[in-house]
Amino acid sequence: MTDLERPLVVPDMLRLRAKYYPDQVALRVDGRTELTYRDWERGAYARARGLIELGLKPRQRVGLVFGGMDWIDYVMSYLAVQNAGGTTIHLGEQVEPAEALRRLEETDAVGVVLGRGRTAPEGFNGWVVRPGDLAGGHDDSPLSVGIGPEDLSDILYTSGTTGRGKALGVPHGNLTFGRAPDNFKHLGDPLPLMVPIPVCTTPSVTTSSIVLSTPATLVLSPPGDIERMAELVEEYRIASVMINPAIAHKLVRTNVHEKYDLSCVDTLGTAAAPLPPRIARQLLEMFPGAKVNSAFTAAEAYTGVIVNTFDPAKPTSLGRPAPGSELRVTDEHGRPVPDGQLGWIWVGSQAPKRKYLFDHAQTARVQVGHWTWTGDLGRIGPDGDLMLFDRAVDAIRVGDELVSTIEVEYALYEHPAVMEAAVMNVPQPDGTDAVGAALALDDPTALPDVQALAARTLAPHQVPTRYLLVDELPRSVNAKVLKRYLRPRLAEVAPSGG
């Protein structure tokens, strides 16, 4: 069977890009360094041979420990492990050393590749190597190690919003699903894409997959540096900018659109969590020629995706399934419910499934046939769009009513002083839950006005009875709010009377 006939694995995507477009720039990092597909492929092959020389065997696990803007060595090392047949574990600087050691030990990692200024977790007993030590003197010609689409390319960890992150095994076929060799040929010179995210994280794996499967040059900017992001947009005439909610919230509090020419941007995309309608409207005001697109899925799914273009007339819509994806909303027994009725959200895809490595019972609950249970509640609207109600673990039972924390947050965001908002349950001594809200306000004296807005626009059972003011919300590396750190603080706040 030839390369063009067999199912693709992750290294094939780089091989095909380098074959058809060797001199095209794949990555441009902060406007300072860049990497072509040819150099990426050759560097990955040379480093793969260095890993094999160290003793790495197919299907063994290797940790990647990178931080800062060390993207070139990171993606080179990532594809080196893949080309050697290994499985990567991504340990960015946001992962504490003790947690990094736990992940390396529970996945039986045999070694780690360290980026600039990074050190291996104390107590790790495998081999440790720097990227530069892998490449020297090694052949950079292609090699084949016999891995297939069902073999694991990565072990990713869930965001840990409700507890310690869990290991998900990601098969090659999950990342290459829907790709065929002819997909890697394109006409014209596509406009560049910007992604301001941290290196060596679950989002950076998605980013690497994007740059391998789309023709656009990826411009990487420092996460959270809105000024630098705007400079690079203007300099390279960026057409699409991928942002997470944390960046979106920072972006709308700036005036960068008045200082820089951002008219080249035609798409703002987000995937980590839905944007509050007020934030989406403000983005459209800052980028009048752009649209705000979103992609909704579950970490366990990835290829089953619901996509949407924000419409102010339908502010809470998540949209409809992308091509190749399916959607259903069911009762607790897995039976479809009528449109308009609240139920469990499932997304479907024929791609190889992601599985929990150490929780087979959870895998069995989440993955049923080609369907993936997202753990979210929602309903199908009258026009066929999916309307998200809430994460099931976040929804709050107040008397006989179920409160959507998302709906309450959206209402709070309508006050202009609210920079960030997180709504959650606050356990009470009698075993019931109260509705609490953690807020970052640009003017703390505006809290009474925010409370009045909530009382005026929300149903009585939705109104928060406890408010906590914070400088900023704690977030995971995936930009999701870590409510478990806020809940104990909210429990200490006296009720406001809601």
Q: Which helix (H) or strand (E) holds 431?
A: none
**What 8-state DSSP symbol labels residue 194?**
E
36 C-beta neighbours (distance < 10 Å), count: 18
For 396-491, the fitting CATH number among 3.40.50.970, 3.30.465.10, 3.30.300.30, 3.30.930.10 is 3.30.300.30
234 C-beta neighbours (distance < 10 Å), count: 17
Residues 332, 158: Cα–Cα separation, whole Å: 24
Cβ–Cβ under 8 Å, residues 69 and 107: no
Per DSSP, the three-state class of 433 is strand
| Per-residue confidence (pLDDT) for residue 1, from 0 to 100 | 39
Architecture of domain 10-182 in this structure: 3-Layer(aba) Sandwich (3.40)
Cβ–Cβ under 8 Å, residues 233 and 258: no
Cβ–Cβ under 8 Å, residues 407 and 277: no
Q: Compute CA distances 143 → 7, 41, 63, 139, whole Å.
A: 17, 11, 22, 10
Residues 11, 1: Cα–Cα separation, whole Å: 17
Place of tokens 């996945």: 107
Exposure of 266 by Cβ count < 10 A (0-12 exposed, 13-18 middle, 19+ buried)?
middle
Helix pair 405-413, 447-457: axis angle to 10 deg: 120
Q: How wide is the angle at C-alpha 182 spanned by C-alphas 180 and 183, nearest 5°?
A: 65
Residues 464, 484: Cα–Cα separation, whole Å: 17
Number of helical (H) and strand (E) elements in the chain, helices listed first: 15, 26
Give me the residues paired with residue 387 across strands. Answer: 317, 379
Phi and psi torsions of 99, nearest 5°: -70, -40
DSSP string, 117-182: T--PPTT--SEEE-HHHHHTT---S-------TTSEEEEEE---SSSS--EEEEEHHHHHTT--GG
End-to-end Cα separation, the chain, in angstroms: 68
| Per-residue confidence (pLDDT) for residue 183, from 0 to 100 | 56
Task: Give the residue extent of every domain in the chain.
Answer: 10-182, 396-491
Tokens of 382: 């009258």
| Per-residue confidence (pLDDT) for residue 404, from 0 to 100 | 97
Helical ranges in 177-287 per DSSP H? 202-213, 226-236, 245-251, 256-259, 277-286
Exposure of 232 by Cβ count < 10 A (0-12 exposed, 13-18 middle, 19+ buried)?
buried
Tens digit of pLDDT per residue, the chain (498 long)? 344 567 899 999 999 999 999 999 999 999 999 999 999 999 999 999 999 999 999 999 999 999 999 999 999 999 999 999 999 999 999 899 999 999 999 999 999 999 999 999 999 999 999 999 997 667 888 888 889 999 999 999 987 766 788 999 999 999 998 876 665 554 445 789 999 999 999 999 988 988 898 878 999 999 989 999 999 999 999 999 999 888 999 999 999 999 999 999 999 999 877 899 999 999 999 999 899 999 998 888 878 899 999 999 898 899 999 999 999 999 999 999 999 999 999 999 999 999 999 999 999 999 999 999 999 999 999 999 999 999 999 999 999 999 999 999 999 999 999 999 999 999 999 999 999 999 999 999 999 999 999 999 999 999 999 999 999 999 887 778 999 999 999 999 988 855
Tokens of 63: 């940790």
